Structure 1
Amino acid sequence: MRAGLCRCLGRRRRAGVPHLADRGARGRRRRNLGWTRSAIHLAATVFGVLAVAGSFLFAVNVDGQLTLGAGALFMFGVVALCVGATGPIVSITAAVPRRWGGAGRLATATIERAPRRIWATVMTIVIAVGVSVGVSGSLTNMTDSAAESLSSLADTDLYVSMTSPDAIPSGPIVPASVDDAVRATPGVSRIVEGQWAYATIDGETVSIQGVADGSNAVTLASLSDDIRSGVLAGDGVVLSKALGTTLGVSEGDSIDLPTPTGVQNVRVLDLVDYINAAGGTMAISLDSMQRWYDRPGATYLEIGVDGDVAAVQDSLRAALPPEAFVYTGAAALEGTSAAIRQSGALAIALQWIVALVAAVALLNTLTLSVLERRRELGVLRAMGGGRGTLARMVLAEALSVGIVGGVLGLIIGAGLQYLSTLILGASIGIPVAYTASWSVLLYGLVALGLSLLGSAPPAVHASRLNIVDAIAAD
């Protein structure tokens, strides 16, 4: 018996040697894995810094639609930075619920045991909040800047044209009978004619505005007195900066303008900020436009009123045929800005879709977390943990994710908003002023709302677990 026992112990000792070797190998593998992860995080951080910095340089130095690439580069950089900061993000998320009682400490333990899952969940909130803040803020800035750039339209009391106020009045010439009726209407003190038309220059469709002295045209509003006088006298033309970039010309250069009466060589007096229309915008004197395009008359009339504008508007509508449109300067500004607001409304609708996707992703993540820990939750219940404790644990985990993701999303969203103002300014042809608003804090509350919305079903499921079934689960 003693010999058999010795042989058994010997086998155990011999069997233990490879076991210790395996433990050493596993330790080396863990160290190697740790070094690999550290290298990945460092590389991601470096790439993220370069990408974020590069996105701003790209937006500042590139013109036109190509600047849209800066937004994608910024988001790649943000994700890379967050990959590099996985450890701090998870640590902060775990620290938040630690002081929330027993359920909070359980949530902290759960967060620390699943760092990759928590990071992915936090990033879902970060992307949703960051995109929402960046998109909504920059679109608000764009709308305000566009309205400011077009504000001279509202300086005119009334407009008369054969085109509705929500479109550029490049349509039919105002009939002579309409012009005579306008001039005969009591209260009309001033009439300034103007024309809009389209032409093709070097393959680009260009909108051309013929302006006369006394006009409140946007193309004249930002000009110096000397340049304005030169345009009105027919000494040259003014181009939008977008058109100047497309044609490769600058102030003082000359361009060939194809017209029905022949090619006209005109000098560029200035390049101005103007919202991109078609391929760009050009302003010339009304007299030159009428002669070169063999198009006498006007496509719209700017009307000054002495007295009650509304009363004169009613008189004009009664005197003019129904196909003539009579609208105020405010209506002209509203109609011109409508397309910009519509694009903003579409983008805001898309951001709510992003928020909904974030809520669904959070719901799936927390539900899987509860299902994976059924046995653990069952043991907690068997040890005396109440249903409310388990529900509060899930809610604490979700709230922690929402708080960290919301704050980080607000910071990233502010950066994205500023970058987006640069991108939009290059895209639409006017500078877009960055203005921060306290309303962005609403998106922080949205992050908490998404967290609560996504955590409610898993919390209810956790509180209703059957102890026996949970412990017996595979």
Structure 2
Amino acid sequence: MTNTPRRPQWRQALTLPSHARLGPADVARVGAAGLRARPLRVFLSAVGIAIGIAAMLAVVGISASSRADLDRALDRLGTNLLTVSPGNTMYGTDAQLPKTSVLMLDRIAPVRSVSEVGRIDAHAYRNDHVPSGQTGSIEVLATRSDLLRTLGGKVTTGSWLNGATARYPAVVLGAKAARRLDVRTPGVRIWLGDTWFGVAGILDPVPLAKELDTAALVGWPAAQRYLGFDGHPTFVYVRSAEPDVEAVRSVLAATTNPEAPNEVRVSRPSDALAAQRATDRTLGALLLGLGAVALLVGGIGVANTMVISVLERRPEIGLRRSLGASRGQIRLQFLTESLLLSTLGGLGGLLLGIGVTAGYAAAQSWPTMVPAWAMAGGLGATLLIGAVAGLYPAVQASRLSPTEALTVP
């Protein structure tokens, strides 16, 4: 039987205990303790991140709310509305649509309804004492009684022109035109051309025919009788069957003016909306860039806070190292502090961004839309900022030896 050699006692005395492991709860508690010790600095750093996240989220949320409102309007009004207007002649002058445009277009089988308005060389004033130059940019348009049915428009107050009132000096004002003339209720008179016209009604805004919002609308027969209207339409609105919109659009120019189809311009509301959304995307990209700058400033603030924290807490780091904390545990502590600080800022930014979006959408009577991907992306951005901003200070703290950290400079 052989005896196993025993290790000398002096070798057993030199054996160092292993580092205690920190659980997730321990790491979070240690990191939170560092933040609680400096509340004002933590608050200011978190505000910097919150502003950046709120800016990004508000840009996305307001844009999404605006698009939701447009989609709701399109669902209500439909995308099957086409607009015909005069283009230019081969000599570069303004063309005219034929007086028979509506009759010609109404013969197209898939067309469900068609109406027209014509620009009149006259201006509308609140009374006959207003100087002629103060027109308020209000157009006077001759119109047909079936216009609202074709456009899906509504009257806010009063009534629309009918077969009787369209023959007499009666006028319906667009939403903006009524505000500019300071007309709130029907029954009053305005000076239009050289004749007093009675206000029969005021329209709601018409999303797909913005030109009506700033116009004074009179009946087609009354325009010819009292205002010298020549009978040529300026805009012809065509509502067609949904499946045949493109087919109808392809024949509108030739049907409206067979002799000169190149002098006819055909547009579709979705084209204008696409251009508007492209503008919204450009503006959104600009504002997102500003939000990214705010995030960068917030990240610099977090990094500055953590670097100063490392410098101020050298004795604490030295004491923890002397008591057995490993470099990895010190590194994890300061990285956790940075992540907690960024998370606080991110949560505050999410609440602020949602609040701004909801407030603006309510003021515009829009549905409030804050995409889930935007909220998740904003919170993910804060965590990335916290990790990047806290990495260098955490590494620097872990490199301090106990004697170096405990030495007071």
Instruction: Report what 1:46 is aligned to.
Output: none
CA RMSD of aligned residues (A): 4.5
Query: Do residues 193 (structure 1) and 116 (structure 2) align?
Result: yes
1:459 partner SS: helix
The one of 344, 347, 356 aligned to 1:416: 356
Instruction: Report what 1:314 is aligned to.
Output: 250
Q: Give the residue type in structure 2 aligned to 1:410.
A: L
- With 190-199 and 442-451 compared, the bigger mean Cα shift is at 190-199
Q: 1:294 to 1:408 in 2, by over 3 A?
A: same
- Which runs of structure 2 are paired with 1:382-401 in the superposition (5 Å)? 382-401=322-341
Q: 1:119 to 1:225 in 2, by over 3 A?
A: closer
In the alignment, the residues of structure 1 paired with residue 84 and residue 223 of structure 2 have an alpha-carbon distance, to the nearest angstrom, of 19
- Is the Cα–Cα contact under 8 Å of residues 209 and 284 in structure 1 kept in the other structure? yes
Query: Do residues 457 (structure 1) and 381 (structure 2) align?
Result: no
Query: Do residues 142 (structure 1) and 74 (structure 2) align?
Result: no
CA shift at 1:114, angstroms? Answer: 1.0
In the alignment, the residues of structure 2 paired with residue 451 and residue 207 of structure 1 have an alpha-carbon distance, to the nearest angstrom, of 57
- Which runs of structure 2 are paired with 1:64-463 in the superposition (5 Å)? 100-149=24-73, 154-162=78-86, 172=94, 174-176=96-98, 179=101, 183=105, 189=111, 191-195=114-118, 204-206=136-138, 210-215=142-147, 221-223=153-155, 227-230=159-162, 233-234=165-166, 235-240=170-175, 243-254=177-188, 256-257=190-191, 261-262=193-194, 264-267=196-199, 269-270=201-202, 272-273=204-205, 281-285=214-218, 287=220, 292=227, 294=229, 296-305=231-240, 308-316=244-252, 321-322=261-262, 324-335=264-275, 343-374=283-314, 376-423=316-363, 425=364, 431-435=365-369, 437-439=371-373, 441-442=375-376, 443-463=378-398
* Higher-helix-fraction structure: 1
- Is the Cα–Cα contact under 8 Å of residues 138 and 215 in structure 2 kept in the other structure? yes
In the alignment, the residues of structure 2 paired with residue 115 and residue 457 of structure 1 have an alpha-carbon distance, to the nearest angstrom, of 22
Q: 1:436 to 1:371 in 2, by over 3 A?
A: same
1:326 partner SS: strand
- Is the Cα–Cα contact under 8 Å of residues 84 and 237 in structure 2 kept in the other structure? yes
In the alignment, the residues of structure 2 paired with residue 362 and residue 289 of structure 1 have an alpha-carbon distance, to the nearest angstrom, of 69
In the alignment, the residues of structure 2 paired with residue 473 and residue 436 of structure 1 have an alpha-carbon distance, to the nearest angstrom, of 52
CA shift at 1:262, angstroms? Answer: 3.0
1:158 partner SS: strand
In the alignment, the residues of structure 2 paired with residue 388 and residue 104 of structure 1 have an alpha-carbon distance, to the nearest angstrom, of 15
- With 381-390 and 118-127 compared, the bigger mean Cα shift is at 381-390
Paired-residue identity, %: 20
- Is the Cα–Cα contact under 8 Å of residues 407 and 444 in structure 1 kept in the other structure? yes
In the alignment, the residues of structure 2 paired with residue 343 and residue 208 of structure 1 have an alpha-carbon distance, to the nearest angstrom, of 34
Instruction: Report what 1:5 is aligned to.
Output: none
In the alignment, the residues of structure 2 paired with residue 309 and residue 270 of structure 1 have an alpha-carbon distance, to the nearest angstrom, of 31
In the alignment, the residues of structure 1 paired with residue 381 and residue 183 of structure 2 have an alpha-carbon distance, to the nearest angstrom, of 48
Q: 1:414 to 1:161 in 2, by over 3 A?
A: same
Q: Give the residue type in structure 2 aligned to 1:250.
A: R
In the alignment, the residues of structure 1 paired with residue 59 and residue 81 of structure 2 have an alpha-carbon distance, to the nearest angstrom, of 35
Query: Once the two structures are superposed, what CA deviation does each residue of 1:67-107 show, in whole Å capped at 9, x if it has no partner?
Result: xxxxxxxxxxxxxxxxxxxxxxxxxxxxxxx9735443332
- Is the Cα–Cα contact under 8 Å of residues 155 and 203 in structure 2 kept in the other structure? no
In the alignment, the residues of structure 2 paired with residue 271 and residue 112 of structure 1 have an alpha-carbon distance, to the nearest angstrom, of 59
2:155 partner SS: coil
Q: Give the residue type in structure 1 aligned to 2:360.
A: S
1:204 partner SS: coil
In the alignment, the residues of structure 2 paired with residue 125 and residue 311 of structure 1 have an alpha-carbon distance, to the nearest angstrom, of 53
Q: Give the residue type in structure 2 aligned to 1:249.
A: V
CA shift at 1:111, angstroms? Answer: 1.4
CA shift at 1:388, angstroms? Answer: 1.8
Q: 1:270 to 1:314 in 2, by over 3 A?
A: closer
Larger RCO (CA within 8 A; separation ≥ 6): 2
Q: 1:178 to 1:310 in 2, by over 3 A?
A: farther
Q: Give the residue type in structure 2 aligned to 1:176.
A: P
Q: Mind listing any 5+ residue stretches in structure 1 that lack a counterpart?
A: 1-97, 165-170, 426-430
In the alignment, the residues of structure 1 paired with residue 202 and residue 357 of structure 2 have an alpha-carbon distance, to the nearest angstrom, of 31
Q: 1:128 to 1:336 in 2, by over 3 A?
A: closer
- Is the Cα–Cα contact under 8 Å of residues 219 and 283 in structure 1 kept in the other structure? no
- Is the Cα–Cα contact under 8 Å of residues 123 and 405 in structure 1 kept in the other structure? yes
Instruction: Report what 2:8 is aligned to.
Output: none
- Is the Cα–Cα contact under 8 Å of residues 54 and 353 in structure 2 kept in the other structure? yes
Q: 1:418 to 1:295 in 2, by over 3 A?
A: farther
In the alignment, the residues of structure 2 paired with residue 408 and residue 126 of structure 1 have an alpha-carbon distance, to the nearest angstrom, of 5
Q: 1:326 to 1:103 in 2, by over 3 A?
A: same
Query: Once the two structures are superposed, what CA deviation does each residue of 1:210-259 show, in whole Å capped at 9, x if it has no partner?
Result: 5424436897622389723459944331331x55445433122535355x
In the alignment, the residues of structure 1 paired with residue 151 and residue 105 of structure 2 have an alpha-carbon distance, to the nearest angstrom, of 26
CA shift at 1:117, angstroms? Answer: 0.8
In the alignment, the residues of structure 2 paired with residue 458 and residue 449 of structure 1 have an alpha-carbon distance, to the nearest angstrom, of 15
Query: What number of residue pairs does the alignment pair up?
Result: 362
Q: 1:412 to 1:227 in 2, by over 3 A?
A: same
- Is the Cα–Cα contact under 8 Å of residues 232 and 284 in structure 1 kept in the other structure? no
In the alignment, the residues of structure 1 paired with residue 393 and residue 58 of structure 2 have an alpha-carbon distance, to the nearest angstrom, of 31
Query: Once the two structures are superposed, what CA deviation does each residue of 1:13-43 show, in whole Å capped at 9, x if it has no partner?
Result: xxxxxxxxxxxxxxxxxxxxxxxxxxxxxxx
